[in-house]
Structure 1
Amino acid sequence: MKPTILYDGYCVLCNGVVEFLQARQKPGALQYVAQQSPRGQQLLAAAGLADLSTSTVVLLEDGRAYLRSAAALRALRQLRFPWPLLYAFILIPPFLRDPVYNLIAHNRYRWFGRLPRE
């Protein structure tokens, strides 16, 4: 299975990031699944993450699940140049990266909006 990003399908910011990634990814490099979808729920359960908050982005790659900033940074490796260069931020320890991620994730609806549930 190709690397799969599980994202909050109701989050305006998250959907914008998905569009950004789709426009810049290497052909067929990533697939995207909303966490709230039946397929998203199935993938989360299979990864042992069924109870995970939708505020956490997940990258499923090579049988592993990467969360928060690690997921975002690893996804950048699947984009066309120059975006993979940003993967160097993985050298910053997660205890410094993830609080920034968590701040944005916690405020994403307030700052960017929420899509209506269908």
Structure 2
Amino acid sequence: MNIILFDGECHFCDASVQFIIKRDRNKYFKFASIQSNIGQKLLKEFQIPKTIDSLVFIEGKKCYVKSTAALKVARRLDGVWSLLYPFLFTPPFLRDAIYDIVAKNRHKLGKQTECRIPTKEELERFID
């Protein structure tokens, strides 16, 4: 199970999912919104607060949030994005401080009023 949980009400988060899909040719990731039934079930299963303000990445039986989740996802993406992975060795309080600034302003960063409609192939990667 390699699932990315995202805020389904956030345009920046939607853009991030689209970014990941385009760079995940091996189709490693599946996606679910935090607000979905499966999203809520997984939050409970991994004891993550429902008020989480972060991308959540579930890889196997482990769960990652904030910058750790983002870097673990980047490691699996095509292109130069995997080069970000060594930042995982930066102290989490520094990485997460930057992550929190982006998360706090994410609604301002995603200015679009409509989400792109996924193709049939892309829809198969979404669960619930």
Structure 1 segment 17-56 matched on structure 2, within 5 A = 17-49=16-48, 51-56=49-54
Give the 4+ runs in structure 1 shifted more than 3 A. Answer: 113-116
TM-score (norm: length of structure 1)? 0.87
Indicate the RMSD between aligned Cα atoms, in angstroms. 1.8
- Closer/same/farther in 2, CA of residues 115 and 48 from structure 1, 3 Å limit: farther
Deviation per CA, 1:26-57: give whole Å up to 9, x if none: 322011110001111111111111x2324211
Aligned position for 1:9: 8
8 Å CA contact retained: 1:6, 1:59: yes
Distance in 1 (CA, whole Å) between partners of 2:72 and 2:55 is 12
Shift of 1:14: 0.7
Alignment coverage as a number of residue pairs: 114
Match of 1:95 in 2: 93
Q: What TM-score do the two structures reach when normalised by structure 2?
A: 0.81
Q: 2:51 is paired with a residue of what secondary structure?
A: coil
AA matched with 1:30: F
- TM-superposed CA distance for 1:113, in Å, is 4.2
